Amino acid sequence: MHRAMTGGIIAIVAVALWGVASFFGLPSMVHMELAELAARTGYEVKKVEVRGTDKMDDAPVYTIALGQVDRSMLNVDLSAVQHDIARLSWVKEARVFRRLPETLVVDIIERTPAAVWQYKGLLTLIDESGVVLEPVVPGKQPALPLLIGENANRQAPRFAQLMEAAPALKPTLLGATWVGNRRWDVQFQSGETLALPEGDELAAAALVDFARLDGTHRLLGRGIQRFDMRDPDKFVMRMPKGKTPPAIVDEHRDVTQQPPEPETPASAPQALASRDQG
């Protein structure tokens, strides 16, 4: 017991001296000798504790942190370990610290999945900033909006902001296609497509107008194929063959009808998939 107490005191003194040496910028050899002394008295990495992971696979975090096992606690480069962990796709923030005498603790703040991005036939999970998190297995797609097209993931923050203009439409949303790297086609769960104009302000204004018209005339779920609001003065509807368009009069836009598409439209998920810009 006396030996254990002596070893503990030596380790504490070594840690204190290491801190002093770091503060005053003493030679690295002094650091090494103090670190080795601390390790000999039990102050070396024996355990790794990862906290804060939920949806992500924490195995890569352990792989990085376990690379420090059996190293003196004083020789662990916390900044380097933290940097390597922060580079993992799921990690939004990481903090690594020592819990003396033998544990390296990693605190993780995960990124939150916000949408699925489809491009060139591949599905990937992305967060609200458009950061790619991991591939999505076909058939096991989470209940998140589907963003389609080249660079659609990079537009995810702008699309989320766009939908905030008309929050009443959020529960009806299936996904959206980023068309020509300049504007959105919005797809609803009931199968309709809404073509929005270019530009954030014009697109938001059109979406607000559509939400107003839908609230007044219950447009969604009535079998209409497509709404086109790219022209700020017009509201164009495309009806299936043989179907009568709803009677709509609007003081802000001229309501017109387009000829029906030649073929029966695909179901909503199929329609979105067919419009992959890859």
Contact present, 133 and 124 (Cβ < 8 Å): yes
Confidence of residue 276 (pLDDT cuts 50, 70, 90): low
pLDDT tier for residue 10 given thresholds of 50, 70 and 90:
very low
pLDDT recorded at residue 260 = 72
Strands 103-110, 183-188: pairing kind: unpaired
How far is C-alpha 31 from the geometric centre of its chain's CA atoms?
Answer: 41
Poorest-confidence range of 94-98, 103-107, 272-276? 272-276
191: amino acid identity, one letter? G
Distance CA 145, CA 154 (A): 14
pLDDT interval class at 72 (50, 70, 90) = confident
Domain edge (last residue) among 110, 125, 148: 110
Structural domain ending residue among the three candidates 61, 78, 110: 110
Q: Where are the beta strands (DSSP E) in 78-165?
A: 91-99, 103-110, 113-119, 122-127, 132-135, 146-148
Judge whether residue 14 has pLDDT over 50: no
- The answer to whether 93 and 109 have CB atoms below 8 angstroms apart is yes
Q: Are residues 245 and 120 in the same domain?
A: yes
Region for 212 from its dihedrals, namely left if φ exceeds 0, alpha if ψ lies in -120 to 50, beta otherwise: alpha
Owning domain of residue 167: 113-274
Q: In total, how many domains does the chain have?
A: 3
Residues 163 and 255 occupy one common structural domain:
yes
Residue 29, pLDDT above cutoff 60: no
Tell whether the torsion through CA atoms of 73, 76, 78 and 81 is positive or negative: negative
Asked whether residue 147 falls in the same domain as residue 185, the answer is yes
* pLDDT the model gives residue 139: 86
Shared-domain flag, residues 75 and 203:
no
Which residue's structure tokens are 């003196």? 72
Choose between 210 and 71: higher pLDDT: 210
pLDDT band for position 243 (cuts 50, 70, 90)? confident
The two beta strands, 234-238 and 254-258, are parallel
Residues 57 and 32 in one domain: no
One domain, residues 126 and 65: no
Q: By three-state DSSP, how is residue 77 classified?
A: coil
Residues 9 and 145 in one domain: no
User: How many whole angstroms separate alpha carbon 278 and alpha carbon 118?
Assistant: 9
Q: Of 65, 94, 110, which residue constitutes the final position of a domain?
A: 110
pLDDT at 55 over 90: yes
Question: What is the arithmetic mean of pLDDT over 171-198?
Answer: 97
Q: Are residues 123 and 98 in the same domain?
A: no
Look up residue 261 and give its two tokens. 């598409």
Q: Which carries the bigger pLDDT value, residue 17 or residue 129?
A: 129
Question: Looking at the structure, do residues 141 and 261 belong to the same domain, yes or no?
Answer: yes
**DSSP type of residue 171:** G
pLDDT at 2: 38
Do 225 and 94 sit in the same domain of this protein?
A: no
Residue 263 has a pLDDT of: 56
- Mean pLDDT over the full length of the chain: 83
